[in-house]
Amino acid sequence: MKENDQPILSVRDLRVSFATEEGLVRAVDGVSFDVRRGQILGIVGESGSGKSVTNLAIMGLIPMPPGRIDGGRVLFCGKEILGVPEAEKRKLRGDRISMIFQDPMTSLNPFLRISLQLTEVLELHKRISRKKARRHAIAMLDLVGIPDAAERIDDYPHQFSGGMRQRVMIAMSLLCEPELLIADEPTTALDVTIQAQILELLKKIRDELGTSIVFITHDLGVVAGICDETLVMYAGKILEKGSTRSLFASPSQPYTRGLLRSVPRLDLGRKEELTPIRGNPPYLLDRSPGCPFLPRCDFAVDKCGEEFPPRRQVAKNHDVWCWVEMEGSAG
Amino acid sequence: MVRFMIRRLLAAIPVLWIIVTATFFLMRLAPGGPFDKERRVSPEVEANLRTKYCLDCPLWQQYLTYLGPLNLNPGQGGVKAFGGDGSRPWSGILTGDFGPSFKYANRSVGSIIAEGFPVSIHLGGMALLFAIIMGMVPGLVAALRQNTAWDYGSMSAAMLGVSIPNFVLGPLLVLVFSLTLYWLPPARWDGPRYWILPTITLGAIYAAYIARLTRGGMLEVVRQDFVRTARAKGLPESLILWRHTLRGGLLPVISFLGPATARLLTGSIVVEKIFLVPGLGRYFIDGAINRDYTLVLGVVLFYSSMLIMLNLVVDILYGFLDPRVTYD
Ligand SMILES: Nc1ncnc2c1ncn2[C@@H]1O[C@H](COP(=O)(O)OP(=O)(O)OP(=O)(O)O)[C@@H](O)[C@H]1O
Ligand SMILES: [Mg+2]
pLDDT tens-digit map of A294-319? 788 878 778 777 888 888 888 888 88
Mind telling me how many Å the CA of A16 is from chain B's nearest CA? 18
- Whether A23 is in the pocket of ligand 1, judged by its Cβ within 6 Å, is no
Averaged pLDDT of chain A: 85
Q: pLDDT value at position B208?
A: 94
Q: Is A196 exposed, middle or buried (0-12, 13-18, 19+ CB in 10 A)?
A: middle
Q: pLDDT value at position A271?
A: 53
- Per DSSP, helices labelled H in chain A are 51-59, 86-92, 104-107, 114-126, 130-143, 149-152, 162-174, 192-209, 220-226, 244-249, 254-261
Q: Is residue A246 part of a domain?
A: no
Tell me how far the alpha carbon of residue B235 lies from the centroid of ligand 2, in angstroms. 22
Q: pLDDT value at position B77?
A: 44
Residues 6+ apart with CB under 8 A from A60: A81, A82, A86, A89, A93
Distance CA B115, CA A243 (A): 84
Q: Is residue A279 part of a domain?
A: no
Distance CA B276, CA B185 (A): 12
Q: pLDDT value at position B76?
A: 47
Q: Are residues B36 and B124 in the same domain?
A: no
Assess whether pLDDT exceeds 80 at residue A331: no
| Higher local confidence (pLDDT), B65 or A121 | A121
Task: Give the closest residue (by CA) to ligand 1 atom 16.
Answer: A50
- Whether A48 is in the pocket of ligand 1, judged by its Cβ within 6 Å, is yes
Strand pairing category for B89-90 and B79-80: antiparallel
Which ligand lies nearest to the CA atom of residue A232 in the structure? 1
Q: Is residue A318 part of a domain?
A: no
Assess whether pLDDT exceeds 90 at residue B318: no
- Name the closest residue on chain B to residue A160, using Cα atoms: B324
Q: Are residues B44 and B127 in the same domain?
A: no
Q: Is residue A70 part of a domain?
A: yes
Assess whether pLDDT exceeds 80 at residue B54: no
Q: pLDDT value at position B84?
A: 38
Strand pairing category for B79-80 and A318-321: unpaired
Tell me how far the alpha carbon of residue A48 lies from the centroid of ligand 2, in angstroms. 7
Q: Is residue A123 part of a domain?
A: yes
| Residue B187, domain extent | 109-321
Q: pLDDT value at position A270?
A: 52
Q: Is residue B220 part of a domain?
A: yes
pLDDT band at A146 (very low <50, low <70, confident <90, very high): confident
- Whether A329 is in the pocket of ligand 1, judged by its Cβ within 6 Å, is no
For chain A, what is the domain count? 1
Q: Are residues B19 and B153 in the same domain?
A: no
Q: pLDDT value at position B197?
A: 92
Ligand 1, atom nearest to A62 Cα = 1
Q: Are residues B38 and B90 in the same domain?
A: yes
Q: Are residues B176 and B229 in the same domain?
A: yes
Bridge partners for A97 per DSSP:
A93, A180
Mind telling me how many Å the CA of B219 is from chain A's nearest CA? 14
Q: Are residues B66 and B193 in the same domain?
A: no
Q: Is residue B100 part of a domain?
A: no
Q: Is residue B327 part of a domain?
A: no
Q: pLDDT value at position B259?
A: 80
The whole model's pTM is what?
0.78
Q: pLDDT value at position A57?
A: 92
Q: Are residues B79 and B162 in the same domain?
A: no
- Whether A4 is in the pocket of ligand 1, judged by its Cβ within 6 Å, is no
pLDDT band at B245 (very low <50, low <70, confident <90, very high): very high
Chain A residues in contact with B230 by the CB 8 A cut-off are 109
Mind telling me how many Å the CA of B2 is from chain A's nearest CA? 22
Would you say B226 and A110 are in contact if contact means Cβ atoms under 8 Å apart? yes
Bridge partners for A215 per DSSP:
A42, A183
Give the residue from B63, B95, B127 where a domain finishes. B95
pLDDT tens-digit map of A43-87? 998 888 899 999 999 998 888 888 889 888 999 988 898 888 888
Q: pLDDT value at position B186?
A: 84
Q: pLDDT value at position A188?
A: 78
Q: Are residues B155 and B87 in the same domain?
A: no
For chain B, what is the domain count? 2
- Per DSSP, helices labelled H in A250-303 are 254-261
Q: pLDDT value at position A35?
A: 92
Q: Are residues B47 and B128 in the same domain?
A: no
Averaged pLDDT of chain B: 82
- Whether A47 is in the pocket of ligand 1, judged by its Cβ within 6 Å, is yes
Q: pLDDT value at position B132?
A: 95
- Per DSSP, helices labelled H in A29-161 are 51-59, 86-92, 104-107, 114-126, 130-143, 149-152
> Between chains, do A156 and B323 touch, taking CB under 8 Å as contact?
yes
Q: Does A175 touch chain B (CB under 8 A)?
A: no
Chain B residues in contact with A116 by the CB 8 A cut-off are 243
Helix axes B166-173, B192-222, angle to 10 degrees: 130
pLDDT band at B49 (very low <50, low <70, confident <90, very high): low
Bridge partners for A68 per DSSP:
A17
Q: pLDDT value at position B261?
A: 87
Q: pLDDT value at position B86?
A: 41
Q: Are residues B192 and B52 in the same domain?
A: no
Q: In this predicted complex, what is the ipTM?
A: 0.85
| Residue A115, domain extent | 3-227
Q: Are residues B123 and B78 in the same domain?
A: no
Give the residue from B39, B73, B95 where a domain finishes. B95
- Name the closest residue on chain B to residue A92, using Cα atoms: B234
Cα B278 to Cα B105, B215, B294: the distances in Å are: 18, 36, 19
Q: What CATH number does the domain containing B296 carry?
A: 1.10.3720.10
Cα B177 to Cα A110, B174, B274: the distances in Å are: 48, 5, 15
Distance CA A187, CA A207 (A): 19
Q: Are residues B216 and B145 in the same domain?
A: yes
Q: Which of A11, A24, A46, A51 to mutate to test the pocket of ligand 1 (most atoms within 8 A of CB)?
A: A51
- The upper half-sphere exposure of residue B123, i.e. CA atoms within 13 Å in the direction of its Cβ, equals 34
Ligand 1, atom nearest to A56 Cα = 18
The CA-CA-CA angle for residues A134, A136, A139, to 5°, reads: 110
> Between chains, do A94 and B235 touch, taking CB under 8 Å as contact?
yes
Q: Is B216 exposed, middle or buried (0-12, 13-18, 19+ CB in 10 A)?
A: middle
- Whether A218 is in the pocket of ligand 1, judged by its Cβ within 6 Å, is yes
Query: Among residues of chain B, what percentage have pLDDT more than 70?
Result: 86
- B228, B234, B244: residue with CB nearest A101: B228
Assess whether pLDDT exceeds 60 at residue B63: yes
Chain A residues in contact with B226 by the CB 8 A cut-off are 106-110
Give the residue from B36, B60, B95 where a domain finishes. B95
Tell me how far the alpha carbon of residue B322 lies from the centroid of ligand 2, in angstroms. 29
Most confident of A231-235, B52-56, B289-293: A231-235
Q: pLDDT value at position A289?
A: 82
> Between chains, do B234 and A169 touch, taking CB under 8 Å as contact?
no
Most confident of A193-197, A241-245, A273-277, B104-108: A241-245
Ligand 1, atom nearest to A51 Cα = 21
pLDDT tens-digit map of B16-48? 989 988 988 888 887 777 766 555 556 776 777
Which ligand lies nearest to the CA atom of residue A218 in the structure? 1
Q: Where are the beta strands (DSSP E) in chain B?
A: 79-80, 89-90
Q: pLDDT value at position B40?
A: 55
Q: Is residue B148 part of a domain?
A: yes
Q: Is residue B328 part of a domain?
A: no
Cα A196 to Cα A202, A312, B266: the distances in Å are: 10, 34, 60
Neighbours of ion ligand 2 (CB under 5 A): A 52
- B232, B235, B322: residue with CB nearest A124: B235
Q: What would the mean pLDDT of A172-181 be, rounded to a whole number? A: 89
Distance CA A295, CA A297 (A): 6
Q: What CATH number does the domain containing A191 carry?
A: 3.40.50.300
Q: Is residue B33 part of a domain?
A: yes
Would you say A226 and A202 are in contact if contact means Cβ atoms under 8 Å apart? yes
Q: Does A124 touch chain B (CB under 8 A)?
A: yes
Q: Which of A14, A15, A17, A18 to mutate to test the pocket of ligand 1 (most atoms within 8 A of CB)?
A: A18
Tell me how far the alpha carbon of residue A280 lies from the centroid of ligand 1, in angstroms. 16
Assess whether pLDDT exceeds 90 at residue B69: no
